[in-house]
Amino acid sequence: MEQSLKPSSQTATEQGHLRVLTASSEAHPLIKTGGLADVAASLPAALRQLGHDARLIIPAYPRATRLLREPKRLCEFKVPGCRANIGIIEGLHPDHELPVYLVDAPEYFCREGNPYTDLSGRDWGDNAERFLLFCRVIALIAKGLPAIGWRPEVLHGNDWQTGLAPALLQEVPERPASVFTIHNLAYQGLFDRATFDRIGLPPSLWSLSGLEFHQRLSFIKGGIVFSDRVNTVSPNYATEVRTPPFGCGLDGLLRQIGDRFSGILNGIDYHLWDPATDAMLLQTYDRERFGLKAENKLELQREFGLPRTEDAFVLGYIGRLVEQKGVDLILSILPELLQDPRIQLILVAAGERRTEEALLDIANRCPRQVGVFIGYDEVKAHRVEAGCDGFLMPSRFEPCGLNQIYSLRYGTPPIVHRTGGLADTVEHCTPQSLADGTATGFLFDEPRPEALLDAIHQALRLYREDPDGWRRLATTGMSLDLSWEASARQYLRLYSEAIGERQQQTDMALA
Ligand code: GLC
């Protein structure tokens, strides 16, 4: 039965069967460079669990094509600006009963490696063309492509790579309601004017109230300006980005759109990230059998070539090496931190060449205390979350952050800068909060080396001097509910609001 698009669809979202198309340039495990991939797979899966008809669309990168289950080529068509035919492959997500559409355009997406950069780390020269094409296909499906026989009531775009889809749809009467999620405002998809002229977007979109941003073409503005609702991935980051220090030049626009903009905290996939069942671990454990966690520490030390000793205080880091993540803060405190021979540090990281080299260098000089893996490796990530004692996340800004949530779940208290989603998910340990049973980690206020060092020392003191307190801290984090269900319900409310807004526009157009 067709769902009504009326504001009364409040009930439609409650009854289930809302049709949602999630558009993203990555989705785990089909393709992943960061947290966006985790969210893009687990939110639609959670919506399906709640009875809704969520589907996912991503580009047909080679790995995605290889991993898709039951692939079926649905149709081929031409798209403006593209010589070759574009195809749609339909299949199922590898881990969930989630329908996935792959946009098959080999000339654009059939490249091994990173979706955004070539092997030397430079952006692909045709990124504007590639993601415009992606957005054109998203827009076609959003309007209803006969060969697919399914049309969403809500288009949910994520990050700049999908930002032009609502811009392309703005004058299409049969367009669905649209929601746009910002996972990181620092990545905006900016291109020069010549690119705008070359790629064939409607000239009317070059305006202050359109895609123009300081004389450049901004993909992310398309999502912010033309969507019915816009959100980011934590309430605190939603507040921060309305201010100049965090707004990356878009704070004015985000203030201007008022209530259309909000923050919803990400959840995590409790099936993939569960220390009680995680097959990637040598030893599973839970709150009651917290002592077993130590087996994972010994195994991790072995894997990273460090002396195997339970007595060490092992800190972990997982993430991209970019300024945002504050790894330079870790590097600058290491000389002092490592003076304590019982401290070890394990990093799984990749990114800026200079930082990679600095990390490898320190691992060479301190082989008994520092272990480094350069690259992203899902299995190692799980083992670091489980095997370390504490987890470092000194990000200068952090829209949500997922690794600190994984570390809470794995009983590895996070040590984090009080910013963005880190501040929303970690409760600072004081004698009071520990006694109340609310403490889950350590927060420091300024992204400065001394502040990070001080927070690590606070953690170390508790770990060494009060093992029961440490256990309480760790197991409190393990018992939090940060699964997707609550967040998915908040997205459903946002979808209802977007549908209501869309309906009002339609009514006004008809009046
Ligand atoms: C981006 C953000 C990160 C967030 C993730 C998923 O990677 O930097 O903070 O957790 O997206 O929303």
For 134-171, write each residue's pLDDT tens digit.
Answer: 999 999 999 999 999 999 999 999 999 999 999 999 99
> What's the pTM value of the predicted model, to 2 decimals?
0.93
Tell how far the Cα of 320 is from the centroid of ligand 1, in angstroms.
11
* Nearest Cα to Cα of residue 289 among 374, 411, 428, 377: 411
pLDDT band at 64 (very low <50, low <70, confident <90, very high): very high
Distance spanning both ends of the chain, measured CA to CA: 27
Q: Cα(342)–Cα(282) distance, rounded to whole angstroms?
A: 23
Q: Cα(131)–Cα(137) distance, rounded to whole angstroms?
A: 10
- 213-249: pLDDT as tens digits: 999 999 999 999 999 999 999 999 999 999 999 999 9
Ligand 1 mutation pick, 28, 158, 248, 402, max ligand atoms within 8 A of CB = 402
- 414-435: pLDDT as tens digits: 999 999 999 999 999 999 999 9
Instruction: Taking each helix axis as running N to C, give the angle between helix 484-510 and helix 35-49, from 0 to 180 degrees, rounded to the nearest 10.
Output: 80
pLDDT at 10 over 60: no
What the block records as the tokens of 200 is: 């064939």
- 81-111: pLDDT as tens digits: 888 899 999 999 999 999 999 999 999 999 8
- 300-345: pLDDT as tens digits: 999 999 999 999 999 999 999 999 999 999 999 999 999 999 999 9
pLDDT at 390 over 90: yes
Domains in the chain with CATH codes: 12-269+485-510 (3.40.50.2000), 290-482 (3.40.50.2000)
Evaluate the omega torsion of the peptide bond into residue 166 and state whether it is cis, within 30 degrees of 0.
no
Task: Work out the percent of the chain whose per-residue pLDDT is above 70.
Answer: 97
Ligand 1 mutation pick, 161, 181, 184, 265, max ligand atoms within 8 A of CB = 184
pLDDT at 11 over 60: no
For position 13, what pLDDT does the model report? 57
pLDDT band at 118 (very low <50, low <70, confident <90, very high): confident
As a whole number, mean pLDDT of residues 476-490 equals 95
- Pairing state between β 313-321 and 86-92: unpaired
For position 460, what pLDDT does the model report? 98
pLDDT band at 255 (very low <50, low <70, confident <90, very high): very high
Residue 266 Cβ < 6 Å to ligand 1: yes
As a whole number, mean pLDDT of residues 270-283 equals 96
